[in-house]
Amino acid sequence: MSVAINQDEHERINAHEYPGTRQLCCQCNAPTDKCEDDSMYTDDGIGPLCCDCYSLRSQEKERDILKDKLADIKHDASIEHGEDAAL
């Protein structure tokens, strides 16, 4: 019979093995310089992340949002000019 470690237990072990600020970034494995109280997670719950990875992910997200907006604008413009909307 296998014993599954649940998330709480996993966090407890991490807190024991990596006390204080020794929290590692889940993207690049660098120390995040953060402790449990101020660890950084994305809106999607990905983390903990270091400052670099966190800002990188926010930038990517912002870029995706801008891309969507640009696609909408292009779509609207193509309708205005009577072009095929599928383009």
Give least dist CB 23 to Zn ion, A: 11
Q: Is 73 in the site for Zn ion (CB under 5 A)?
A: no
Other residues' Cβ atoms within 10 Å of the Cβ of residue 77: 10
Site for Zn ion in 12-71 (CB under 5 A): 25, 27-28, 50, 53
Give least dist CB 34 to Zn ion, A: 11
Nearest-angstrom CA–CA distance, 24 and 82: 54
Q: Under a CB-based contact definition with an 8 Å cutoff, are residues 56 and 63 in contact?
A: no
Q: Which is nearer to Zn ion, 36 or 78 (CB)?
A: 36
Q: Which is nearer to Zn ion, 56 or 78 (CB)?
A: 56
Contacts 24+ apart (CB under 8 A), 30-37: 36/11
Residues that bind Zn ion (CB under 5 A): 25, 27-28, 50, 53
